[in-house]
Amino acid sequence: MNIHPLNRTLIAAALIASFGLAACKPSVPDGQMSDGAAANAPKDSATLGAALDDTGITAKLKGRLASDARIEGSDISVETNNGVVTLSGSAKAGAAKEAAEELARNVEGVKGVDNQITAPTALDTFVKDADKAADRAGEAITDTVITTKLKAALIADETTKGTAINVTTTDGRVTLSGKVTSGAEREKAISIATRTEGVKKVDADDLKVGSRS
């Protein structure tokens, strides 16, 4: 059963509120340009000397990215021009993106960072997790409802009432087990289960015909 989109949103909001999650973007150190200025900075080194310095910054930062466990699983490219580092590629999570920027800002000679890395936000991650949790909860509720309705229907039916039929439901798949006194009772039980709303499949292999002791 699908959970209403509003309920998914409420679940996600509750999770985020519970953990107090918020973006934790690295602050711009004194002496470095703002994010906007870094994004608009020239993408070519102005002089040969600047190009050599830029190469050194890029190499040092790549080494730090490669050795930092927070960046593991990310695919990040580094380009440096006139001391301004441009980070691009993808990160496995927002925390990895911010960690890469933090490492870049702490490399000597860096004048600014243009962080173009794509990564899921904390909200994206928790909404996705909430959707999965809601789906699992929905399945559990649906299975309980199916079992309850089916048991009630078996008791109410003239043919199957009083029978010792066990009902279990998993992901909409009903399993009937126990004993009935006739083939007619068995077939009627299967028919009722099949017609019950939400039932995807009925397994009656363990529903046997025989005397009940």
Provide the pLDDT for residue 135. Answer: 63
- Quote the mean pLDDT of the chain: 84
Tell me the C-alpha distance between 139 and 107, whole Å.
51
Contact 165, 207 (CB under 8 A): yes
Tell me the C-alpha distance between 120 and 92, whole Å.
7
Tell me the C-alpha distance between 122 and 127, whole Å.
9
**Whether the predicted pLDDT of 209 surpasses 80:** yes
The CA radius of gyration of the chain, in Å to the nearest whole number, is 31
Q: What is the pTM of this model?
A: 0.50
Q: What is the pLDDT of residues 52-63, one digit of tens each?
A: 999 999 999 999
Q: What is the pLDDT of residues 106-137, one digit of tens each?
A: 999 999 999 999 998 665 665 566 566 656 66
Region 172-187: mean pLDDT is: 92
3-state secondary structure the chain: CCCCHHHHHHHHHHHHHHHCCCCCCCCCCCCCCCHHHHHCCCCCCCCHHHHHHHHHHHHHHHHHHHHCHHHCCCEEEEEEECCEEEEEEECCCHHHHHHHHHHHHCCCCCCEEEECCECCCHHHHHHHHHHHHHHHHHHHHHHHHHHHHHHHHHHHCCCCCCCEEEEEEECCEEEEEEEECCHHHHHHHHHHHHHCCCCCEEEEEEEEECCCC
**Whether the predicted pLDDT of 145 surpasses 90:** no
More confident residue, 209 or 78: 78
Provide the pLDDT for residue 54. Answer: 95
